[in-house]
Structure formats: C-alpha cells, structure tokens
Amino acid sequence: MKVVLVGYMASGKSSVGKQLAKELGLEFVDLDNYIEQEQQNTINGIFQEKGEIFFRKLEHQMLSKVLEEKQNMVLSTGGGTPCYAGNMNTILAKSDHSIYLQLPVMALVNRMAIEKDQRPLVKDLSEDELAEFVGKHLFERRNYYSQATLVLDCLDKSIEELITEIK
C-alpha cells in the first residue's frame, strides 16, 4: 500500500507520516531526505547553490522514482511538491491514498516561526512578512492539496488522534 501525505510547510507531514508508517507496518520515506541523500546536500544548500528551478526538477524526478520503486510506504512530500510539474496528478495516479494535512494560516505561521531557518523560502522573512507570505502562498497552493483523496482537519489534534482518523 502506498500512502502520500501532502500539505503546507510545518503541517506535520513528517511527524504524522513516521507514526502512521510505524502503525501500518510500512516503510516511511521523506521526499526531502531522499533528495538530500541523493544530492549529498541539504535542501537549503541545493536552493542556495543551484536555485529553486533546479530543485523543482529534481523533486519531480525523485517523486516519480520513489513512487515507482517502493510498493509499500508512507511518503511525506515537501510543501511545494504537489504544486509543480503535474506532481499532484502523479501522486493521485500512483498512490492508493493521499492525505492533505490541513491547518489554518495562523497555526502554520506559529509553527513556522520557530523553525523557519531550515526553510529556504521563508528563512529571511520577518514575522509580519511571514504571515502575509503564508496567507498568499496557501491560497495558491490549496487547490492542489485539496485534490488529495482525504482532507484531514488537523487543528488542535494530537498525532494519535490524527492517526486514528486516518485509519
């Protein structure tokens, strides 16, 4: 069984994905980590040295590769993955279940403010700029995320509660 998690940065894709994979007895794959291993570089490093267009092409190739290669896994994607190069159609075609971890803008901003240095798209923004950026960005991206086979409202829910709902 292949399950793919999609959603904005800091929506909990990796934490939920790890626990879900454990409980379902599936391998957990994080697409950003997969890219980092393949490139022997961090996501920040790839953005800085090669730029976003290079990253998006790589992300597209690695998504197709991992979905072809692995038959049983929970895959956590990057926040932008479903929004480029027809990737959401690939996810829908090549997985059994796709899940959008949905959170409102302010909840995402609060989470991102704590760990924004690891994220090249937002690391140089002030808190006000971050809120404005996330608001606009999520508005553009949610049409892609919403195509997932399950839309999960994640506000104020623990990982365990989310896993129970998914199951």
Whether 14 has a binding-site annotation, put simply, is yes
The CB-of-31 to ligand S3P minimum distance in angstroms stands at: 7
Distances from the Cα of 124 to the Cα of 107, 114, 116, 127, 162, angstroms? 19, 13, 8, 10, 32
Joined together, the tokens standing for residue 4 give 């793919």
The CB-of-92 to ligand S3P minimum distance in angstroms stands at: 19
Query: From CA 130, how far away is CA 69, in angstroms rounded?
Result: 37
Count residues binding ligand S3P (CB under 6 A): 9
Query: From CA 28, how far away is CA 34, in angstroms rounded?
Result: 11
For ligand S3P, which residue has the nearest CB?
78
Site string for ligand S3P, 113-132 (x = CB under 6 A): ------xxx-----------
The CB-of-35 to ligand S3P minimum distance in angstroms stands at: 8
Residues within the annotated binding site for Mg(2+)?
14
